[in-house]
Amino acid sequence: MHLLIIVVALILAWSIRLYTPLSHIPWTTRWQRSLFCFVFSPLLLLMTAIAVVVMGCHGTMLGWQSGWYGYLFAIGFLIFTATSIVKLFFQGWQSIQTTNKYPQKTIEGKTVRLLDTSFPYSAQVGFWNSKLVISQGLLDTLDKDHFSAVVAHEEAHTQYRDTFWFFILGWLGYISPWLPNTDELWQDLLLLREIRADRRASQQVDPLLIAESLVIIAQKIHTISGNITTGIMEVAFHDKTISGRINERIDALLSESENLINTSWKLSYILLTLAPLILIPFHG
């Protein structure tokens, strides 16, 4: 019976991802679609595994005999998910420790960690309370106004706690790379995260300055070689993984729409992932 429950959950999780509509819809409403489709399937599998382990390998449910195969599969999946989040957290902790070794400076009234490299780089690094890291190359590339635009963008990430939430989302993606459209949805969420921060920053500085900063940094990056990558607990102003979609960020910045991205979770839909737990009382 347990194996049947797992198979049904796998089919449902796979189907939701397989039939995810990836066609472009307005960025103001795309967040909920991408977030739901990305989160629902791995959470459903996780809740199913928890339900199977709680029910145990003995007894019956609705007249069906429980067995070892589904139980052992569920335990294996839970062990994998637990070790995965520990691994990712350790990698993030190492990144934070490295960041703490950078000299602390006050630039334009902002406390930052300064990275001594010609690569133009800025990012929030941390978990819940992140720190702003910038490079000397960024300071050499941007003037005061454009630097302030980048800082406003990074402060928006802090307000949204993006380092924390995308650590969790990154973990869900890490444990389910075999599900359809995982990478496509992840890339879309990264892009929407940056658009959201851009739009929030545009309430404090001229959006044209943010757009110009994006172009200036992109041009600088194309003229030099850098080996800096965005880690599990980092959100960078210019993320190389979505650099090819910089035009979408600029279009969103210059859009006449004053609406921010709709980031409210459809909690009622996410709660459907708890459905496997309802089966526990029927096990005897």
Closest CA to 272 of 7, 48, 15: 48
CA distance 257 to 183: 28
User: Which residue segment(s) compose the domain that 246 sits in?
Assistant: 2-282
Q: Is the pLDDT of residue 265 over 60?
A: no
Count of structural domains, the chain? 1
Q: What is the pLDDT of residues 104-136, one digit of tens each?
A: 999 888 889 999 888 888 999 999 989 999 999
Tokens of 147: 């630097």
Q: What's the pLDDT band for 78 if we cut at 50, 70, 90?
A: very high
Q: What is the pLDDT of residues 46-64, one digit of tens each?
A: 999 998 888 877 666 655 6
State the burial class of residue 187 (Cβ atoms within 10 Å of its Cβ: 0-12, 13-18, 19+): middle
